[in-house]
């Protein structure tokens, strides 16, 4: 079956092959174990198993302070549901100005939906587990668009500078 979803290139990406799946505390602990086995400390478990699916669902495990490059999905909506931890969400305009900042956690904002084209990033304030739902099908490199000002994740020096710039911007926000 050549069309079955089999991601490559990311050592933290996995695919659920079962036709049914119960996500409980034990399953989350299993995902955390997978996250600890790779160099990133991350795990993304695709609950869908076909790129043609109209709905793509993932459970993400990210360690504290993971850098997620600011991006948008020009043709897709996205929903995040927090399972564990605290996840800071930052929304930007096209030029990198911060429009909104908030924290997702079970006791407050536990679900967040983005419309198409909204530039955003997620910064784990603690180790975090969240459920992500995004429209399918997967269209490859055009699924996420990265603005010119969004620093490449492998440039650790520039990521540090960018994150400090974001922190400074947030201290002056009146949101």
Contact 43, 31 (CB under 8 A): yes
d(CA 144, CA 147): 10
pLDDT for 7 equals: 57
What would the two tokens of residue 36 be?
A: 């600890």
What is the sign, positive or negative, of the torsion defined by CA atoms of 132, 137, 40, 118?
negative
Supply the pLDDT for residue 11.
75
What per-residue confidence (pLDDT) applies to 6? 55
Name the pTM for this structure: 0.88
3-class DSSP string for the chain:
CCCECCCCCCCCEEECCCCCCCCCHHHHHHHHHHHHCCCCCCEEEECCCECCCCEEEEEEEECCCCCCCCEECCCCCEEEEEEECCEEEEEECCCCCEEEEEEECCCCECEEEECCCCEEEEEECCCEEEEEEEECCCCHHHCCECCCCCCCCCCHHHHHHHHHHHHHHHHCCCC
Q: Are residues 124 and 85 in contact, defined by beta-carbon separation less than 8 angstroms?
A: yes
Nearest partner of 80 among 23, 131, 15, judged by Cα: 131
Question: In this predicted structure, what is the pLDDT of residue 1?
Answer: 41
- For every one of its 175 residues, what pLDDT tens digit does the chain have, with 9 covering 90 and above? 445 555 555 778 888 888 889 999 999 999 999 999 988 899 999 998 887 788 999 999 999 999 999 999 998 999 999 999 999 999 999 999 999 999 999 999 999 999 999 999 999 999 999 999 998 877 766 778 999 999 999 999 999 999 999 988 888 776 5
Sign of the dihedral defined by the CA atoms of residues 122, 87, 112, 101, in that order: negative
pLDDT in tens, 111-136: 999 999 999 999 999 999 999 999 88
Question: Which pLDDT tens digit goes with each residue over 92-116?
Answer: 999 999 999 999 999 999 999 999 9
């Amino acid at each position: 079956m050549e069309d079955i979803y089999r991601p490559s290139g990311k050592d933290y990406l996995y695919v659920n092959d079962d036709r049914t799946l119960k996500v409980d505390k034990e399953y989350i602990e299993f995902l955390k174990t997978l996250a600890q086995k790779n160099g990133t400390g991350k795990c993304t478990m695709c609950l869908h198993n076909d790129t043609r699916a109209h709905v793509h669902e993932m459970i993400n495990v990210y360690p504290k302070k993971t850098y997620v490059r600011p991006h948008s999905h020009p043709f897709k909506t996205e929903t995040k549901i927090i399972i564990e931890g605290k996840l800071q969400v930052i929304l930007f305009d096209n030029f990198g100005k911060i429009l909104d900042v908030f924290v997702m956690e079970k006791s407050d904002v536990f679900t967040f939906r983005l419309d198409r084209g909204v530039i955003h990033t997620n910064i784990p304030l603690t180790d975090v587990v969240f459920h992500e739902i995004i429209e399918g099908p997967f269209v490859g490199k055009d699924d996420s668009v990265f603005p010119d000002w969004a620093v490449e994740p492998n440039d650790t020096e520039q990521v540090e500078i960018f994150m400090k710039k974001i922190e400074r911007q947030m201290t002056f926000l009146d949101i």
